[in-house]
Amino acid sequence: MDIRDAFFWEYLRLRPDLAIHKGIWLEFPPFPDISERGMETEIVFLEEWYSHFEDKAENVSSSNEAVDYSTALSFIKWRLFMLDRYKLWRKYPLAPQMISEGIVYPSLMDVPPEIKYEIIKKRIAAAAELLVKSRDSLTEPIKEYIEIAMGMVSTMPVLLKRVERDMGSAGFKVDISPILSALKDYYFWLMKVRDDAKPFTPIGETMFSELLQSMGVELSAKQLEDTGRKYMDKSMQEIKNIIEDHYPRSDVEDVIYAIKDDHPESIEMLLNEYRMAIKEAREFVISNRLVQIPEPEKVEIYPMPEHMKKILYHTATITSGRFDTTRKTLYFIAPPKTPKLFREHNRHMIRLSAVHEIYPGHHVQALYERNSPSLIRSLHTFLDYYEGWACYSEHLAFEHGFFSNPESRIFYHLARVWRSAKIDR
């Protein structure tokens, strides 16, 4: 077997939680070993494979091969940074997220019921042990990370009861009482851990520069900050120019507040608005030949499930995996909790989200990733590339006139201000 494919399959055996994201359902154990010992094993594994790829990278025979080796080395460097330098596993409880994703992904995708429920049943059966065995690795807890995990644990019973109900309706039985009991114990344990946890502190310029280097970003922390400030100032000036041209003598905040009033007024209208915006974005991409959309593909829009609402407040997408037979994205919209919050789903933001998340954004990006013959490139999508493509998609749509009126152009630039501010932070 080629070294690239060998690494892909060996790493998934070590980290079976990643296998579900690729549409690989039954070949591996339900969860990885995320105890102290398991994390140290992964570090050694990655260091050994880094040496293998370094040796091979010196004698590549094609540009595709060169990209694969570069991707593998970058991925391993990034993972080693998170595991051995920052040591995220000592600060953040990994188990709740792994359990939630291990149940959510197969439950939502088009997997035959007998396979789907066997997968879920195995993960539910193994979840209690994971919650216990993973505790020893949390030696440097961060308060904010603990609270994120507590939010996941508190909503998981809703997910489990829904799965139990769905399985029962399909003629399958599952006992969720052990995991419900284990989640309760784990939640109270997290409460105690939180009492002594340290507050989050920035990692500092030196370590952040190391993180950028591990991701292949050829900028220093200072250069990245300057870039963020530059684009934030430029986008703010664009907003001011539009307002001066179309809303003379008006305050920027007042104009933005007024524009947000243009929003759907019910959950049904909100979901329908998203559907129409996605349809419009798809037609725009095709008619302007911005990018070829691989077939087959499908997008389905749903209200956000109850167990996701506490963690995700606006929208979320889940795409089918590398080995899934379907090629679809599930687009979840969080129903606003108050009438005022409908303003954050105003029509201009909805159209921007359709471009960013679906056409030609993350959905199309995932289609190309799944169609690539390279396994190693599907192992991990770096955040700078992943979000970079979606932001470029917005820019592409902007340049070709998708945001044709002043209000939509204001929200296009407003989104750039927000993202630039995140860089500046």
Q: Percentage of residues in the chain with pLDDT exceeding 70?
A: 97
Chain segment 119-176, per-residue pLDDT in tens: 899 999 999 999 999 999 999 999 999 999 999 999 999 999 999 999 999 999 999 9
Q: What is the pLDDT of residue 213?
A: 86
Say which amino acid occupies 414: L
Is it the case that residue 310 has pLDDT exceeding 70? no
Any idea which residue has 């679906």 for tokens? 358
- When mean pLDDT is compared across 20-24, 125-129, 225-229, 301-305, the lowest value belongs to 20-24
Structural domain boundaries of the chain? 3-196, 219-424
Rounded mean pLDDT, 413-425 = 77
CA separation for the pair 303, 333 (Å, rounded): 5
CA separation for the pair 284, 276 (Å, rounded): 12
Q: What is the pLDDT of residue 109?
A: 74
Q: What is the pLDDT of residue 188?
A: 97
- Per DSSP, 91 falls in state T
Chain segment 17-35, per-residue pLDDT in tens: 888 888 887 778 899 999 9
The distance in angstroms from the start CA to the end CA of the chain is 45
Is it the case that residue 424 has pLDDT exceeding 50? no
Is it the case that residue 354 has pLDDT exceeding 80? yes
Residue 245 in tokens? 């041209």
Say which amino acid occupies 215: M
Handedness of CA 170, 171, 172, 173 (dihedral sign): positive
DSSP E strands, 344-419: none
CA separation for the pair 277, 297 (Å, rounded): 17
Cβ-based neighbour number of residue 370 at 10 Å: 19
> Is residue 137 within 8 Å of 90, Cβ to Cβ?
yes
Q: What is the pLDDT of residue 311?
A: 65
Give 258-291 as a DSSP string: HHTT---SSHHHHHHHHHHHHHHHHHHHHHTTSS
Rounded mean pLDDT, 2-14 = 93
Is it the case that residue 181 has pLDDT exceeding 90? yes
Strands 315-319 and 298-303: unpaired
Average pLDDT, the chain: 90
Q: What is the pLDDT of residue 423?
A: 60
**Residue 331: φ, ψ to 5°:** -115, 110
Residue 90 in tokens? 């000592």
CA separation for the pair 124, 176 (Å, rounded): 7
Q: What is the pLDDT of residue 392?
A: 94
Taking Cα atoms as reference points, which of 11, 2, 12, 6 lies closest to residue 65?
2
CA separation for the pair 398, 9 (Å, rounded): 41
Instruction: Residue count of the chain, please give it.
Output: 425
| 396 or 315, greater pLDDT | 396
Name beta bridge partners: 298.
328
Q: H or E element: which one contains 329?
A: strand 328-333
Three-state DSSP class for 70?
helix
> Is residue 180 within 8 Å of 131, Cβ to Cβ?
no
pLDDT band with cut points at 50, 70 and 90 for residue 313: low
Chain segment 375-406, per-residue pLDDT in tens: 988 887 677 788 889 999 999 999 999 999 99
> Is residue 184 within 8 Å of 329, Cβ to Cβ?
no
Strands 315-319 and 328-333: antiparallel
Is it the case that residue 115 has pLDDT exceeding 90? no
CA separation for the pair 404, 409 (Å, rounded): 7
Residue 310 in tokens? 């506490």
Strands 298-303 and 328-333: parallel
> Is residue 317 within 8 Å of 330, Cβ to Cβ?
yes
Q: For residues 32-57, b (16+ Cβ closer than 10 Å) or e, as one string?
A: bbbbbebbeebeebbeebbeebeebe
Chain segment 249-285, per-residue pLDDT in tens: 899 999 999 999 999 989 999 999 999 999 999 999 9
